[in-house]
Structure 1
Amino acid sequence: MFSLKTISATIAAALLGAASFSPALAQDAPGEGTTVEMGRATWDTGWFHAEIYKQLLEELGYTVEGPTTLDNPPFYQAVAQGDMDLWVNGWFPLHNTYEDTFSSGAEKVGAVAEGGALEGYLVDQAAIEEFDIKTLEDFKRPEVKEAFDRNGDGKADLVACPPGWGCEVNIEHHLDAYDLRDHINPIKAGYSASMADAVAAYENGEHILFYTWTPNWTVNALVPGEDVMWIEVPEVDLPDMSLADAATLEGVEGCVEDPCTLGFPANDIVPVVNSEFLEQNPAVGALLEAVSIPLTDIFEQNAAMNAGEDDIEAQASAWIEENRDLVDGWLEEARAAAS
């Protein structure tokens, strides 16, 4: 079955005429005449590497529409149906809950970054010392709840995740698993704004409790081991307990214990691509298999973005040029796959 996109591309190629065909052009730009519908996540810390991939696709001759910013559920449904072709913001195993949605028409290909993408709960260093906080269980203590109650509802305030994010599922699960509903108030407003408010509160000497992930600007503004500490969960309890072993990690800098029972499995950041699109565009599959971006580079851009340097297109272009030899190798692999 042909999609409308495939038919449009076929018509466009026919209109160009045989006289205009250039074997060299086809080899250098295998995506010529093909439009890619690209998505990106709602968390802006994933936009930098999305822009890098967009520009690499354009170097292969593809016309890239977007990236369109989508929550997880609508993206995974759209990519399975062919309304979206790909994004590079999959977090696995965090997004395993969406596999039933997308696996019938889409698949994971390659990895932006493997491992090292951490998630967990952090508390300001002063509170760790004052109240001897080790785990979420400590937030059942009246004096701790009071110290972190910023809105007067009798519960400790936690900067959590907006609805639709994969981390929201795990946090909600934790609140029930550890019987914390009467003790912790999850703030689910826009994450960046909520964290900016938390940073301001910290700078005013208030105690803060927040969820974060890496790479993220938050661990630049509030450095684990200096300003804040990763705390543990009472015990690993996940919606999918087959991932339990990955939720305790050794050598987590700034954790209250080592090994550190973060309560979230370490994640790979992974592209997810429509299967029909992938079959028709082997250059894209080869590119996605080849590319990887150091977490430290993503972290550096996230910190700069938080400081007001928000020209993501220019930052991605600069990264590509700084890594031109590596990038050219990826592009050659993609072109070879299409020949």
Structure 2
Amino acid sequence: MTLKSGGIAVAIALAFASVAGNAVAADENAASTCGTDRTIDIAEMTWPSAAALAHIHSRILEAGYGCKVEVVTGDTVPTSTSMLTRGTPAVAPELWTSAIEEQWQQGLKDGKVVALSDAITDGTIEGWFIPRYTQEANPELTSAEAVIAHPEIFPDPEDSSKGRLYSCPPGWACELSTTALFEAFDMKDKWNLFSPGSGGALDASIARAFTREEPILFYYWGPTAILGKFDAVQLDLGEAKPEVYACNTDPDCDDAPGVTAYPSSPAVVGAAAWIQEEAPNVAAYFSKVGLTNAQISELLVYGDENQADAAATAENFLKTKEDVWTTWVPADVADKVKATL
């Protein structure tokens, strides 16, 4: 069959379009593969947010990228030590590096580990909180000092002549920091420092106050289900002074406790360096997975209210927050993950 010049031009254009389309498809397919036959072990840390993130990423990498994935038990110090020395686990999806700062920085310098992104994009939070309804009724209560001047608003249920500050359970680092601030603010004459017996007891006290719409002054941190569930306002503690905070949390420090805000602890997606070298698609994925405090706290509310484990909490996030996690991956990866839900 003979083609006229116009037909030849159309045929050539179609051929180029087909080649270009195939090239794009090939590029997309290449970007949607795991890139390594090695098992990617992801650390499931002992706190709820990190545990849920481990299962979210495991599901996406396995179903979407075809990776061999294993979720393994972890915690900050043993996980980072193993990652630095043995290259395993491959990924820690919420690694708070403040507790391992010196070792982590040396590992980055030596090329043994990489920080692929900020796991919590707006930083972790710690501090003293009151309910928003209490602040709305008393607009002047914006700082710790302003609250301390009004113990009568936060009466101790067991000693109404004083206010009550809810601290942390015995043995927690935040018990040291809160006790130090209690002393630095010279609160003992008008306030009682209450130490609950456990994290569950602290949560129960906070939940009870919010349910009854009662005033409460309490230490807490985020991201957490408590801050996702209840509308709490963080009080101004002034400037964060790392040296003062370090002394406040060191039982052997001889200096008097000082006033300081809680420094925000970095929380990164930490990984063994081989991930970036052998599985660049996986590294690229983890470079996009940061969530805000509010987003993480919100996903934890489901687990808290439904007594769901980390895997179930992760699945709920994947089902209800497609608008979030689908921005982390190519479209074909998203489709593969959706098909498993």
Q: TM-score range by the shorter chain?
A: 0.5 to 0.7
State the AA in 1 paired with 2:217: L
Structure 1 Cα separation of the partners of residues 240 and 325 of structure 2: 44
Q: CA RMSD in A?
A: 4.4
Aligned-partner SS, 1:42 = coil
In structure 1, the residue matched to 2:286 is 288
In structure 2, the residue matched to 1:335 is none
TM-score by length of 1: 0.63
Match of 1:65 among 70, 91, 94: 70
Structure 2 Cα separation of the partners of residues 196 and 211 of structure 1: 13
In structure 2, the residue matched to 1:308 is 306
**Larger Rg, first or second structure (1 or 2):** 2
In structure 2, the residue matched to 1:208 is 216
Are the aligned partners of 1:287 and 1:331 in contact in 2 as well (CA < 8 Å)? no
TM-score by length of 2: 0.62
In structure 2, the residue matched to 1:99 is 101
The offset of 1:28, in angstroms, is 5.0
Q: How does 1:130-209 map to 2 (within 5 A)?
A: 133-137=141-145, 143=151, 147-148=155-156, 156-160=164-168, 171=178, 174-175=181-182, 177-178=184-185, 185=193, 187=195, 190-204=198-212, 207-209=215-217
State the AA in 2 paired with 1:218: I
Structure 2 residue runs of 5 or longer lacking an equivalent are 1-27, 108-112, 246-258, 334-341
Is the alpha carbon distance of 1:155 and 1:109 closer, same or farther for their aligned partners in structure 2, counting shifts above 3 Å? Answer: same
Structure 1 residue 317 corresponds to structure 2 residue 318: yes
Structure 1 residue runs of 5 or longer lacking an equivalent are 1-23, 243-260, 333-339
The offset of 1:155, in angstroms, is 8.0
The offset of 1:195, in angstroms, is 1.0
Structure 1 residue 232 corresponds to structure 2 residue 236: yes
Are the aligned partners of 2:124 and 2:265 in contact in 1 as well (CA < 8 Å)? yes
Are the aligned partners of 2:240 and 2:261 in contact in 1 as well (CA < 8 Å)? yes
The offset of 1:327, in angstroms, is 3.9
Match of 2:80 among 56, 76, 99: 76
The offset of 1:262, in angstroms, is 9.1
Are the aligned partners of 1:116 and 1:266 in contact in 2 as well (CA < 8 Å)? yes
Identical aligned residues as a percent: 17
Is the alpha carbon distance of 1:274 and 1:284 closer, same or farther for their aligned partners in structure 2, counting shifts above 3 Å? Answer: same
The offset of 1:100, in angstroms, is 0.9
Q: How does 1:108-123 map to 2 (within 5 A)?
A: 108-115=115-122, 117-123=124-130
In structure 2, the residue matched to 1:87 is 92
Is the alpha carbon distance of 1:286 and 1:143 closer, same or farther for their aligned partners in structure 2, counting shifts above 3 Å? Answer: closer
Is the alpha carbon distance of 1:143 and 1:326 closer, same or farther for their aligned partners in structure 2, counting shifts above 3 Å? Answer: closer
Structure 1 Cα separation of the partners of residues 331 and 196 of structure 2: 39
Aligned-partner SS, 2:242 = coil
Structure 2 Cα separation of the partners of residues 317 and 43 of structure 1: 20
